Each structure stands twice: as C-alpha cells, then as structure tokens.
Amino acid sequence: MAKITTHRQGQARVTINDLAAELGLAKGTVSRALNGYSDIAEGTRLRVSRAAERMGYRPLAQAQAIRTGRARSLGLVLNAGRSDAHKPFLTDFLDGISRGASEESWTLTVATAEDEADEVTTMTRLIAERKVDGFILPRTKMVDARIRLCKSKDVPFILYGRTGDPEGCAWFDICGEDAMREAVLRLARFGHRRIGWIGGMQDYAYTNLRRGGFLAGLAEAGLDPDPAIMVDGVFTVEDGFNAGLRLLDMPEPPTAVVCALDLAALGLYRAAARAGRRVGRDLAVIAYDGIPEAALADPPLTTFAVDTRAAGRALAAMLIARIRGTPPEELRRVVPARLIPRSSDRLSILPPNLPPEPAHHPTTPV
C-alpha cells in the first residue's frame, strides 16, 4: 500500500509522491508524464495518467504555482463605489467568466474597490501576492489607471471594452458604435429627420465609440448633427430624466432619440411624460444594453442586447491565452450587439414634420 501523506487530521490527499511510489517511478518522471513532456515514453505516460485517474490525484494548485509562477487564477476587481450599471448583468458576467475559467481548470478571484485609486491598490496587492495571473478589466476608460498598472508591472490583462491607446492591449468588446449607427439609420428609415442623442459618462471608452456611431449614422442618412439636441454625461435614470427634459424643452425638439444606455432611456420616458409627450406615440426611442427592465417598460423599449455571459466566457478564454503567451494583437475581438425590436421606436401618432411611415421593413438584425 502506498504511503498516504495526511495533512489535516483524517484527511487524505494523494500527492505526486504517492503516485510515484505506487508506480515505482521518480516523482519528476511522473510530473513530466502528466505535463506532456516529449521525453516520456508513450506507454509510461499512459500508465501514469491512468494511475492518476484511478487514485484521484489532483495537483495542488499552489504547489505548482510556486515553481511555474502561475496561480491558474483570473483576477476581477469590481468597482462597488458607484452604483454600477452592470449590476443586473453581474451574475451572468461572473457565470461566463467562471465557466470559461473552469474549462481550463482555472479559477476566478474577485475583489472589490470603492474608487479608482482603491482599484489600483487592490490590484497591486493581488499582484504582489501573486494571487492572480492576470486581470479582466471591465468598464475601461479612455485613459485607465488599471491598464497603466498592468503594463508597468508586466502582468497580463484583457479589456472588456476598448481604450485610448491600444498599444499592448488585448480586448473583447461589443460593437456599440455599429448599434448606434444602425439605430439612427433605422429611425431615419421611419422618416425621422431630427434625431436626438443622450450619451454616457465622458471618461468611459464606450461613450466616445457610441457617440461616434451615432454621428456616423447621421452622416450616412444625410442628416446634419445638431449639438443642441445632444446631451452627454448621463449615467443614471435620474440623469436621463434631466437630459430628456432638456431635449424636449428645445424650441425644435427631436422626434426621436437614441440613448447610449437603457437607464437613460428609462429617465427619458419620465421626462416625456412630464413634457406631455409619450414614447411610442409621438416620440421614438432606441437604446442600448438590454437590461430586463427595458422589456417591462411602457411601452417596451427597443434596444440592443448584449450577451454578457458569452462576453465573460470569451474574456476568460482570451485572458488565459494571453497569459500563456499569445501576443495581445491577436487577441482583439469585437462582436455585434443584437437588436431587440420592441415598440418604443414605432410611432402611433406622427409628429407634423414626419412623413407617413414607409412600408414595414422586416426588422433588420445585424
């Protein structure tokens, strides 16, 4: 009987020494067999892996880590400070990451921070203790302290979003700019010629992108942008409400509004009510995010949905690849958002300056 090393009292764990003893091999040989070194005979490799299976051997993650420098753990630092818009998606996001990590037998280490400085502090600690091998950075900003930190410490990372200086960055993102562009074209097809804009927080990278997509859509539709009906810096329903009031209070208010966030649109709903207008009747709205509340709004909000779970999974897989050495330039993916056509963008009462709606196009998903 092989000698079993006991650790906690009563708990038996099969170590590589037990395996080696059982097989009559040196433990180094067993290790190399298990890790696919080329200097191990095929028969031996088989014998080893079978015995490992049979005895239920699982290498001790930390023991490997100390030599290889790999903890097989992905880091995620959540900013719990401000009321995050990704709150409703958090479970899906975590699920996606965790699943992507599990597939490679990696794990996910989560920490929280209350502001940007705290984020950097927390990440520094995780790096110093080598608790994680790399980071997933959600909600990237145009200039992002976390990215600078990772670069300076030479620790792998992947962005969920994009950033100002792409040098050395890998990312996965949803193509918000295409969505916004498509939103404009869709509204223009419905006859709208005065299309307003409510955009997100300035420093987030996605804000610029979506704004650019909006402008590109206008240009493509042959419409001139009017700064008077464009508001930025919105982050909450409250903000959206105020922005909506501003837009609808114009001498020549928009007949349609594109919102960079569902939350902004929800605020706009209330602003419209206050201004004596009603979304889906005489004001068309298209937004972005696909939060559950959007479906329950009255009228149901046409929006672009993001598959957060899939994003998490992709991010995990890509970060692991990055850690294993794939150059960042090969790890850049941008996938389209999916339009969910509901009724907030089809008007039942046409404003005076709108022509009758053309023949009903089948809704055009990307």
Partner DNA sequence: ACCCTTGCCGAAACCGGTTTCGAGGCAAAG
Partner DNA sequence: CTTTGCCTCGAAACCGGTTTCGGCAAGGGT
- Report the alpha-carbon distance of residue 345 to residue 340 in Å, rounded: 11
Q: Cβ(223)–Cβ(195) under 8 Å?
A: yes
Q: What track of x and - describes contact with a copy of itself for positions 98 through 137 (by CB under 8 A)?
A: xx--x--x-xxxxxx---------x--xx-xxxx------
29 near DNA, rule: CB under 7 A? yes
User: Any contact of residue 8 with DNA (CB under 7 A)?
Assistant: no
Q: Please, which residue, 37 or 348, has the CB nearer to DNA?
A: 37
Is 15 among the residues that bind DNA (CB under 7 A)?
A: yes
Largest CA distance in the chain: 90
Q: Which of 144, 160, 146 is nearest to 308 (CA)?
A: 160
Contact 263, 288 (CB under 8 A): no
Least spacing, CB of residue 85 vs DNA, in Å: 39
95, 116, 232, 307: residue in contact with a copy of itself (rule CB under 8 A):
95
CB 312 within 8 A of CB 348: no
Residues 49-108 binding DNA (CB under 7 A) are 57-60, 63-64, 66-68
Q: What angle do CA 116, 118, 123 make, to 5 degrees?
A: 100
Residue 207 near which of DNA, a copy of itself, none (CB within 5-8 Å, type-dependent):
none
End-to-end CA distance of the chain: 63
CB of 105 to a copy of itself, least distance (A): 8
Chain residues 136-155 in contact with a copy of itself, contact rule CB under 8 A: 153-154
Q: Quick one: what does residue 122 bind among a copy of itself, DNA, none, with the CB cut-off 5 to 8 Å set by partner type? A: a copy of itself
Asked if 266 and 297 count as a contact pair (C-beta separation under 8 A), the reply is: yes
**262 close to 199: Cβ distance less than 8 angstroms:** no
Q: State in angstroms the smallest separation of the CB of 111 from DNA.
A: 20
**Residue 330, CA distances (Å) to 168, 315, 333 in order:** 10, 13, 9
Partners of 78 in the beta sheet? 112
Rounded Cα distance, 92 and 36, in Å: 35
Distance CA 78, CA 162 (A): 17
For DNA, which is the closer residue by CB, 35 or 348?
Answer: 35
DSSP 3-state of 159: strand
Choices 3-11, 136-144, 208-216, 251-259; region in contact with a copy of itself by CB under 8 A? 3-11
Residues that bind DNA (CB under 7 A): 5, 7, 13, 15-17, 24-29, 31-32, 34-35, 37, 39-44, 57-60, 63-64, 66-68
Residues that bind a copy of itself (CB under 8 A): 7-8, 10-11, 13, 56, 58-63, 65-66, 69, 71, 73, 78, 80, 84, 87-88, 90-92, 94-95, 98-99, 102, 105, 107-112, 122, 125-126, 128-131, 153-154
